[in-house]
Every structure is written in structure tokens, then in C-alpha cells.
Structure 1
Amino acid sequence: MHLSALYRYPLKSAIAEPLQGSAVDLLGLQGDRRWMLVDEATGRFLTQRAVGKMSQLGARYTDSGGLTLSAAGMPALSVALPAADQNLRGVTIWKDSLRVPDAGDAAAAWLSEFIGKPTRLVQVPEARARTVEAGYGEPGDRVAFADGFPLLLIGQASLEDLSSRIGRPMEMLRFRPNLVIGGSEAFAEDGWKRIRIGQTDFRVVKPCSRCILTTLDPLTGERSADREPMTTLLTYRKQSDGIMFGQNLVPDGAGHLQVGMAVEILE
């Protein structure tokens, strides 16, 4: 088995950034989901679930930790990494409330024009990161702005199994994984507890519950008229707490990943 693809999402719910290699820290891939959009009035997080056009929003991570924003018909905008303890804004993501640095008025104006309503851009320093979902992590396990855990893994064979049942190819990016594993059997990842990729160890802590976001075409943002892949997933991947596809991971320490690295099942 090997790491067949690697994806980073610098801005939560914006366009994926394919990578050939990445450093790994305690929050996942370096730069992954460290930035987020929030409603200016409420501080509530924004994603493609409610704002489908975020699928057309580009956000590339820079070496300095900043972002470069891009969208059709708009000039690109460079956003500097804000100071970790200045211009703090109260935000809410799922059940978590926290105070994190605001990226400033220029970014807010650019994004408000794109989104169509007053929007702020925020960033999470490691010291202000959330704890992972209760009952699944260990003391000290943290997550940036990903939904619940630092990393999401999907087996390539699992996607191929789903596509064959639907009768047409499904794009991997509908599921927004960080790590794609080649060479395993379909849904083999369901039985893994600990894995090693290269020299970096990971705990496999919880299946990923899927939502309506998977029905959006990752290239166009258009919703599937037949509600696929959710319609088919419902027939064979439903559990008591949701429709499961992929596995959430927590890294055990820092490391480096490179596409092509061997994957070893430790437990």
C-alpha cells in the first residue's frame, strides 16, 4: 500500500490544493484548514453547505503562513498571517466557540464582495486550536478548523467501489480527504487502528460521517440532481450515527509525507 494522493485545504471549504509532499504537525498537514470564513455579524463559520460558491474560491497557502485568495473576475489578494494575539474575534464552529485573529479589513472587503454578504477571514494559531471531538482523542489532541479531527483518509478502492455501484465515476474531492491510500481493498481502512506512512505514525480514531456537501460537484459547485453519492451510500454505509465514508486520523507527532510513501498497518 502507498500514499497515492495528498490534499490540503488552506481555507476551510475552499478549493483543494493538491500536494506532492507536506510537513505534518500536531494539527495535521502544515497549513491545512488554518483559515476560515465567518459571518461578520454572528461569527458563525461559513462552508459550502450554506454558501455553494465557496467551491469556486481559491486559497493557496504561502511559505510565510499567509494566503493568496483568487476567484474568477476578481484580482488576486495576498493576505498576511495575522499576529497570534491581536485583533481577536469570537467565532463559532459547530459547538466550539473560540477567539482567533482576524485577517483585517482588506481581506474582509474582498471576501464580502465574493460571498455577497459581510464576511470576515480568521486564522487559528496552534496555541488557540480546539480539542478534538470528545471521547475519541487523547489529552493534547488538537484540531484547527477541520470539522472534528486533523486528517481525513480515504482508500482509492473505496471510492472505486462506490463509483461502480453508482454507475459513474465519483470525484475523490467530493469527500475532501487529506490522504488517499492506494493498493488496499475497498473499505480496508474501516479496520485500521494505527498506521505508519513513511516515518510518521497516525491513530485512526473515528469513521467520517458524510453530509450533503458530497453532492456538490467540486469543479462547478453544482448539486447532483440525483443526490449522489449520498443516495447510494445510504444503501450500504449507514450506521447509527450517520453515513460513513473515510476515516479520521490524529498524528502522533510531527513528520513529513510524500506521495508514493509506503503505508504500514501497525494495528
Structure 2
Amino acid sequence: MGAAGSSALARPGLPAPPGPRWLGVAALGLAAVALGAVAWRRARSRRRGRLQQVGTVSELWIYPIKSCKGVSVDAAECTALGLRSGHLRDRFWLVINKEGNMVTARQEPRLVLISLTCEGDTLTLSAAYTKDLQLPVKTPTTNVVHRCRVHGLEIEGRDCGEAAAQWITNFLKTQPYRLVHFEPHMQPRNSHQVEDAFSPTDQIPYSDASPFLILSEASLADLNSRLEKKVKIANFRPNIVISGCGVYAEHQSLFK
């Protein structure tokens, strides 16, 4: 994204405008900050001054499968459960083991090599040196719904079928795994049960704690200035990348 096409981020202080909220090229970045920050609700009642630009949205990322590759998008809708672009939702798919526990790159580093993309009504699982697997966007309702566990909290997920399970198991080559999908009618997890700072009404599907992760380019540059081995934005798996702001402004502007 060029700087001219980036959308302005505003310091939180006013309620989000009514109707659908979108981010992206020529889209408002306020919705991302408002939905992504726990402190926004607390600050809203205290601060009703004029909006002040603090940066611009330079990148948007959706990570359909938890711990797998991200998809760069030009625009995304901010929902209460995270970013959405077409049929792709952030962390709405999850790899589980036979006990129903989540499996992430902490246990299986090769998960970061798997991508899930969508074209029309077809999802495609891809990885290097592995034949792509195509799945329907709508998982058959006859597929079993598993009781899964993400950071100790139970949540449902509909099984994506034997083909998906076999594809992931064959790629990781360690033990049997299955792929599950969170459906909108299912009960999300409560963020407050993961981190006390969140409101009791904040909810998430398979994300760790928050529906959004915001990171600035300035903060990454500051970190790399103190590292011998440089890291990239992708190492932190943010949904929203901000440019044109000071170091750690994404934290300071949200929690003042």
C-alpha cells in the first residue's frame, strides 16, 4: 500500500459511526482502534474532544487458521470478533489434536508454512511441495462439532472433514490432527477470562485474547535497532500495521 492510499487513524475519543465499519485503502482506521483497544470503552466517557490523527493504516492482515500464514488484504470489515474480508475471518479455523486441544506453532512450528485462501465458494489449503487441497466454504452441517480448548477455555468447532484432517496430518508428520471451523452461531470465548484488562463483554473465537492486534512500523524499527538478528512484522502476526507515528504510539494512544 502506498502512503497516499493509506487510511488515517484517529485517537480514540468518539463513538464509532453507525453502519458497517471498514478498514483499508481509503477506509477509516478509527474503527480498528476502537474495537481493538480495551481502554477505548473506558476512555470514551472521559474524552470527547476533537479527533486527532496519530498515524495511518499501512497494512491489513487476516490469519484465517490460527498459527498459519496470514493473508494481506486491501480492505477489511471490523467485526466484534475480528477482521473479515469476504469469507475469510481472522482466526476462525483451528488445528486441534485428538484430545480437542488447540495446536499452534508453539507445538508445531511448520504450521506457519500452511496458508488458507478463498476464491468464490472454495477454500484452498496450500503449503510448499504439497498438493493443494480444496474445501467448500460452507462446512457440511452433517460434520461433527467438537468441544475444543483454547488456552484452557472450551469452545466449539465444526470438523472440516477427513480430507482436511489427512492433509494437515500428512504435512506435519507428527501425530493425527484435525481442522475445525468456528461458526457465527457458536458461543465465543470471553476475553476477560484470559486477561483481566478486558471487559466481560469482549469476545473472541480462537484468538489468544483480543480480536485485533495493532503494531506500528516505528515500534518494530526500535526493537530491531537493539537486536542482532532482525525480526519482521510477520513475526508478531498483527492485523493492523500503522505507519507515520512515534515509537510505541499504538500503545500510548490507546491507554492514555
Fold conserved between structures, TM > 0.5: yes
Query: Residue 118 of structure 1 aligns with which residue?
Result: 176
Secondary structure of the 2:213 match is strand
Amino acid at match of 1:82: T
The aligned residue for residue 191 of structure 2 is 132
Unaligned 5+ segments in structure 2 are 1-54
Paired residues in the alignment total 193
Q: What does residue 97 of structure 1 align with? A: 154
More strand by share: 1
Partner of 1:108: 165
- SS of 1:151's equivalent in the other structure is coil
Against the structure 1 CA distance between its residues 171 and 46, is the aligned structure 2 distance closer, same or farther, given a 3 Å change threshold? same
Task: Note the residue ranges of structure 1 that are not aligned, 5 or more in a row.
Answer: 194-203, 205-266
Residue in 1 aligned with 2:215?
154
Any residues of structure 2 matched to 1:10-25 within 5 Å, and which? 10-25=64-79
Residue among 131, 134, 138 paired with 1:78: 134
Mapped contact 1:84–1:100 kept (Cα < 8 A): no
Compared CA separation, residues 161 and 171, structure 1 to 2 (3 A): same
Give, in whole Å, the separation in 2 of the partners of 1:184 and 1:24.
22
**Distance (whole Å) between structure 1 residues aligned to residue 141 and residue 198 of structure 2:** 25
In the TM superposition, residue 144 of structure 1 has moved relative to its aligned partner by 1.5
Across the aligned residues of Structure 1 and Structure 2, the Cα RMSD in angstroms comes to: 1.9
C-alpha distance in 2 between matches for 1:123 and 1:82: 8
1:69 maps to 125
User: Does 2:110 correspond to 1:53?
Assistant: yes
Amino-acid identity (%): 28
- Whole-Å Cα distance in 2 between the matches of residues 12 and 61 of structure 1? 16
What is aligned with 2:8? none
Does 1 or 2 have the higher relative contact order (CA < 8 Å, sep 6+)?
Answer: 1
1:38 aligns to what?
A: 96
Q: CA deviation at 1:79?
A: 1.8
Q: Give runs of ≥4 in structure 1 deviating > 4 Å.
A: 83-86
TM norm structure 1: 0.67
CA contact (8 A) 2:146 2:157 kept: yes
Q: 1:84 to 1:124 in 2, by over 3 A?
A: farther
- Alpha-carbon shift at residue 168 of structure 1 (Å): 5.1
